[in-house]
Amino acid sequence: MRYNPSPSTTRSALPIAVTMGEPAGIGGEIACLAWAQQAENIPPIFLIDDPDRIVNLSKIINHKIKVKTINKAEQALEIWPDTIPILPISLNTSVTPGKVNASNASCVMSSLDIAIKLVENGEAAALVTNPIQKSALHLAGFKEPGHTEYLAKATNAKNKPVMMLSGPELRVVPVTIHMPLLEAARSLNTDDIIHCSVVTALALKQYFNIPDPRLIVAGLNPHAGENGVFGDQELNIITPAINNIREKGIKVFGPCPADTIFHAEAREKYDAAICMYHDQALIPLKMLDFYKSVNITLGLSIIRTSPDHGTALDIAGKGIADPRSFIEAVHVASAMALSVNIFNQF
């Protein structure tokens, strides 16, 4: 496709900050597995975590873990890949894999807050967030719906962030995200489609070295509405958005029937697909490569990626977690950081 991370091309000059995420989930496991399996091929990272928790994961991943605490992010460059660098924070209570304890929610948030500041201050190149358990955080007073909204507020984002999901063969952007399907259809509007498309086009230039991005916009209804026969959103909402996007000088095609734009030949004709709702975007992405899909937040002042999966409490502690999405998230974050540095030189 247009982007294929490789160790030789994705190393930024600074290390990548990795947050704790839900300590009862698989975040720590996949970070440790990534080090155990591919440390020499992964850009330098450091964990903001409890060192004892990480060491205790050695039995779960069946690999002896070497850790060293650091005081500054830059020290990670000196000890990676021989050792896992950890900027230490202490958990409030012990962790049982798969059993969420809201007592540790403040630690989860501290890890995230520290990472944000390090990236903002130029001490870390980017941020990779391990999955959080929103229910536990909400019990502890966390008021935002999730990572993205919290990051937007913490970094004083001027506009609504945009979620891009990226894999080796496809990039997708859902205009509506975590809401019931009926509500997604009702809330769809022209301004949001324009905003997602403009932010995506800029990101493709800035972070993915695509000088003239091509976007394709999916319809909401079967056959893209077929001129109003199966719904009028294409006529009244989506087409006006496309016209506006085109007027801004962005190459954009659509609205296209969603069932025609994800096969191999079609994917060669665009750089990202703007989709109308969550599953319309994520089903084809995960079908193509479930284990290398990455969540990227666009529109922030910092670079943030995340594995494209949740806390997986049902398999936490069983030693069967797969680190591939985490590894890809690190590669993508590092490549984006390197690209934006080059972009800003012009």
CATH number assigned to the domain comprising residue 246: 3.40.718.10
**Other Cβ atoms within 10 Å of 147 Cβ, number:** 23
Output the pLDDT for position 341.
59
For residues 41 and 113, membership in a common domain is answered with: yes
Task: Please give the tally of structural domains in the chain.
Answer: 2
For residues 66 and 214, membership in a common domain is answered with: no
Which phi and psi (to 5°) does residue 201 adopt? Answer: -60, -45
Rounded mean pLDDT of 169-197? Answer: 95
Rounded mean pLDDT of 63-89? Answer: 96
Final residue of a structural domain among 261, 277, 299? 299
Instruction: Report the C-alpha gap between 47 and 76 in whole angstroms.
Output: 9
Please give the span between the terminal C-alpha atoms of the chain, in angstroms, as a whole number.
26
Could you give the percent of the chain with pLDDT greater than 70? 95
Q: Is the confidence at residue 92, as pLDDT, over 90? A: yes
Output the pLDDT for position 7.
41
Q: Is the confidence at residue 141, as pLDDT, over 80? A: no
Phi-psi region of 272 (alpha: psi -120 to 50; beta: other; left: phi over 0): beta
Output the pLDDT for position 5.
44
Instruction: Report the C-alpha gap between 18 and 35 in whole angstroms.
Output: 13
Domain span holding position 32: 1-157+300-346
For residues 273 and 330, membership in a common domain is answered with: no
Instruction: Report the C-alpha gap between 272 and 214 in whole angstroms.
Output: 7
Question: Is it true that the peptide bond before 222 is cis, omega within 30 degrees of 0?
Answer: no
Cβ contacts of 330 within 8 Å, gap of 6 or more: 16, 18, 34, 42, 43, 45, 128, 305
Phi-psi region of 223 (alpha: psi -120 to 50; beta: other; left: phi over 0): left
Q: Is the confidence at residue 119, as pLDDT, over 90? A: yes
Rounded mean pLDDT of 95-123? Answer: 94
For residues 151 and 230, membership in a common domain is answered with: no
For residues 194 and 279, membership in a common domain is answered with: yes
Residue 4: pLDDT band (50, 70, 90) is very low
Rounded mean pLDDT of 160-180? Answer: 94
